Amino acid sequence: MRTIKLGKSSLDVPTIAVGCMRMGGLSIAEAERFVQTALELGANFFDHADIYGGGECERKFAEAIHMSPSVREKIIIQSKCGIRRGMYDFSKEHILSSVDGILKRLRTDYLDVLLLHRPDALVEPEEVAEAFEMLNSSGKVRYFGVSNHNPGQIMLLQKYLKQPIVANQLQLSVAHATMITAGLHVNMQDEFAVDRDGDVLNFCRLHDITIQPWSPFQYGFFGGVFLGSDKYPKLNEKIDEIAKKYGVSNTTIAMAWLLRHPAKFQPVTGTMNVERLRDCVKATEITLTREEWYSILLAAGNTLP
């Protein structure tokens, strides 16, 4: 497995992150097989959130991986907090209590990375800074990041934080690529020119913040998977054509499309299927040509001016 540097941290992380949002639906035996396969593939970066399964995903993960000090030192764990029922909460009290709950469920003393899950309209960055400083100085969290944040929101937080924001988890796939396509339609009057996120792609590159694409196979906001979908016939035809050339699955090519981008994304998988996870990891062995990358972009319905 190839590795990249996670933002301005000292962490060398696998290019593919293993998302654990759906782990709550597995039996313990299934979860054990899944995490063991991930480790065998070198995919030892596991992404969690306190809301996944109401905490059940974290508990099941800890049981499935047989968490112990010797196991913990071989893996990298990231979790997220800030989403509550009907609201978002970045208060100092909620962040601190959330981390305590996460650590208890994961049976560990520390997180490698903590992300703030979705922007809180009532955020007081000074409180966030106090919480982060307490978590960092106590050894409970090594590094910090955000999820679904735009440049202005990140800069507001960073103004008060002592620690650098090392990651930003954002929805991104070839069928949900507005952060890429807006940059291709600069000064145009078409829909693709609309900057929906404050040029977050280039902002993160300029500030050494690793973008972690979530839902790398989805279109819309959980609209469905584009692979095999009759909504994307041209895209599937093109991906299948390129997959045949490389002798791999369509999943591998869809993931390789993200990895080809020079921003050095760290895509987060969502599958609990071990074979599909293997296909995702296989993408790290493939570098699409420029022609192949653009042909997939256009086949998804994106355009060039």
Cα dihedral: 152, 92, 17, 235 (round 10): -40
- Spatial neighbors of 258 by CB under 8 A, at least 6 apart, are 172, 173, 174, 213, 216, 265, 267
52 in catalytic set: yes
- Spatial neighbors of 155 by CB under 8 A, at least 6 apart, are none
Distance CA 124, CA 227 (A): 41
- CB-based contact 289:253 (threshold 8 Å): no
Alpha-carbon dihedral sign for residues 47, 50, 56, 60: positive
How many C-beta atoms surround the C-beta of residue 259 within 10 A? 23
Bridge partners, residue 79, by sequence: 114
What Cα–Cα distance (Å) separates residue 65 from each residue in 16, 71, 151, 274? 19, 8, 36, 15
Catalytic residue list: 52
